[in-house]
């Protein structure tokens, strides 16, 4: 019997297509996922496209940005960048406004509140210090009250010293002055100065106003001693005894024996460029750069201005102008007439010790202006080439920072400039 050849039936075509279609579908799904992911991560307006797609589908997109009150995305990177741009703008604005505010008056006419330590140059320098023992150390149970009338002395001027000992409760302790000596401080290679005694008394004479009150006072007038020709620091050493303990203290002054210039006539006033000028005639013996200061009080006795002259004076007759800036008068609401007082000055000496030669000081009231109203003076800010140049550069920085912030977040409001807050204040 002949064997019949058997064969497997050929699979239908439909089954073969299914085996091919399955991997193709998986590959298509992967490619679609990759394309969607790249579209989502692409820069530009991808978040906006996702949000639009979500709106079209009528549902909330999972990756759509959540908006804040000012239209700012709350993503950390966005908030941090806006904070940086805002900080840059505020710093640039602060720099511009601070410079403008601080330079609205010229350097030679400033509010006296900026220089409170120079408002009363002829007030005595007072200190309270523990007793310094002669052999070293200190005794805090004994406090020394000391004063000196000035630090810098022009030729012919004198200085007054005082000393008193008190306990912790302020009760005066018996004080005995055992030795006083004044001598100019010299350096190696220079000849030692003369030594002079400076008598301290408690008898109501000289610089001592009240006798037998436990406060001892003395006057040092270098021009009347062997120190008349010394230029530099003069140190006065005082040795004393309190309760059987010996102590020591030092007083220093700077003395210049030469007179570089003298005041030579009565002061006068003038109005120039909306400001009030006090003009003081001076006869210059030593030409050079002079620094001269005066204090100005208004009609109510309120100190409000420090006026300065800083310029070169030639030999012979000169006019020193101390200007009170118009806007400073207006801003300080200074009541006229104005009084110029306590004028002092010196010739600046470079690479020298001491670094100045003092002019005679004008103590107390020097000149009182005419009565009137400060409204007649200018309210304009001070201008100079340098100030204009700096303000232009600072304003460019402000504009650049403002524009960067506006471009990054055009919907958020910009903070008000610090200049408006300063002017309102």
pLDDT digits (tens, 9 = 90+) for 19-47: 445 555 555 554 554 444 444 444 444 44
CA pair distance 209, 217, nearest whole angstrom: 9
Element holding 88 (H helix, E strand)? helix 76-102
pLDDT of residue 67: 44
CA pair distance 339, 333, nearest whole angstrom: 15
CB 155 within 8 A of CB 361: no
The order of strands in the sheet holding 176-184 is: 152-153, 245-255, 232-242, 176-184, 195-196
Residues 94 and 195 in one domain: no
pLDDT of residue 411: 84
Percent of the chain with pLDDT over 70: 81
Decide which of 224, 255, 286 is a domain's last residue: 255
Tell me how crowded residue 78 is: count the other CB atoms within 10 A of its CB.
15
pLDDT of residue 60: 41
> Can you list the pairs that 412-416 forms with residues at least 24 positions away whose Cβ atoms lie under 8 Å?
412/70, 412/71, 412/72, 412/82, 413/70, 414/89, 415/86, 415/89, 415/90
pLDDT digits (tens, 9 = 90+) for 413-425: 888 898 876 665 5
Residues 369 and 392 in one domain: no
CATH number assigned to the domain comprising residue 145: 2.60.40.1930
pLDDT of residue 414: 83
pLDDT digits (tens, 9 = 90+) for 379-404: 999 999 999 999 999 999 999 999 99
Q: Report if residue 392 sits inside a domain.
A: yes
Residues 265 and 358 in one domain: yes
Confidence of residue 71 (pLDDT cuts 50, 70, 90): very low
Residues 303 and 335 in one domain: yes
pLDDT of residue 28: 55
Model confidence at 181: pLDDT above 50: yes
Q: Report if residue 189 sits inside a domain.
A: yes
pLDDT digits (tens, 9 = 90+) for 251-310: 999 999 999 999 999 999 999 999 999 999 999 999 999 999 999 999 999 999 999 999
pLDDT of residue 29: 54
**DSSP secondary structure letters along 47-76:** HHHHHHHHHHHTS--TTPPPB-TTS-B--H
Q: Report if residue 398 sits inside a domain.
A: yes
Model confidence at 196: pLDDT above 90: yes
Residues 340 and 417 in one domain: no
Decide which of 255, 285, 310 is a domain's last residue: 255
Residues 210 and 171 in one domain: yes
pLDDT of residue 26: 52
Q: What's the structural domain count of the chain?
A: 4
CATH number assigned to the domain comprising residue 312: 2.60.40.3870
Confidence of residue 75 (pLDDT cuts 50, 70, 90): low
Residues 232 and 277 in one domain: no
CA pair distance 283, 314, nearest whole angstrom: 9
Residues 21 and 43 in one domain: yes
Q: Report if residue 65 sits inside a domain.
A: no
Domain that holds residue 200: 137-255
Residues 283 and 242 in one domain: no
Residues 356 and 267 in one domain: yes
Model confidence at 49: pLDDT above 50: no
Model confidence at 10: pLDDT above 80: no
């Amino acid at each position: 019997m002949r064997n019949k050849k058997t064969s497997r039936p050929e699979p239908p075509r439909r089954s073969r297509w299914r085996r091919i279609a399955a991997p193709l579908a998986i590959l298509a799904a992967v490619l679609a996922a990759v394309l969607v992911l790249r579209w989502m991560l692409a820069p530009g307006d991808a978040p906006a496209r996702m949000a639009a797609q979500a709106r079209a589908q009528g549902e909330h997109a999972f990756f759509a940005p959540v908006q804040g009150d000012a239209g700012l995305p709350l993503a950390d990177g966005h908030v941090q960048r806006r904070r940086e741009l805002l900080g840059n703008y505020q710093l640039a604005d602060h720099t511009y406004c601070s410079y403008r505010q601080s330079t609205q008056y010229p350097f030679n006419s400033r509010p006296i509140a900026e220089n409170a330590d120079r408002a009363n140059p002829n007030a005595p320098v007072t200190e309270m210090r523990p007793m310094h023992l002669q052999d070293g150390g200190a005794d805090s149970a004994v406090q020394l009250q000391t004063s000196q009338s000035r630090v810098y002395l022009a030729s012919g001027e004198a200085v007054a010293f005082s000393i008193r000992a008190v306990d912790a409760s302020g009760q005066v302790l018996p004080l005995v002055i055992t030795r006083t000596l004044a001598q100019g401080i010299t350096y190696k290679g220079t000849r030692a100065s003369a030594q002079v005694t400076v008598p301290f008394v408690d008898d109501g004479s000289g610089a001592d106003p009240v006798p037998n009150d436990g406060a001892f006072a003395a006057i040092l007038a270098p021009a009347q001693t062997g120190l008349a020709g010394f230029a530099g620091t003069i140190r006065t050493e005082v040795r004393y005894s309190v309760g059987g303990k010996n102590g020591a203290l030092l007083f220093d002054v700077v003395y210049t024996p030469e007179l570089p210039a003298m005041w030579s006539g009565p002061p006068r006033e003038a109005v120039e460029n909306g400001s009030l000028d006090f003009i003081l005639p001076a006869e210059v013996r030593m030409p050079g750069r002079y620094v001269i200061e005066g204090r100005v009080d208004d009609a109510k006795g309120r100190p409000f201005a420090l006026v300065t002259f800083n310029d070169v004076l030639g030999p012979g007759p000169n006019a020193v102008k101390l200007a009170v800036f118009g806007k400073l008068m207006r801003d300080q609401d200074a009541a006229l007439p104005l009084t110029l007082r306590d004028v002092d000055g010196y010739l600046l000496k470079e690479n020298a010790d001491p670094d100045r030669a003092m002019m005679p000081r004008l103590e107390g009231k020097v000149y009182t202006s005419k009565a009137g109203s400060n409204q007649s003076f200018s309210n304009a800010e001070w201008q100079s080439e340098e100030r204009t140049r700096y303000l232009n550069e600072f304003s460019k920085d402000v504009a650049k920072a403002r524009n960067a912030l506006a471009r990054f977040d055009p919907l958020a409001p910009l903070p008000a400039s610090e200049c408006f807050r300063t002017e309102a204040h």
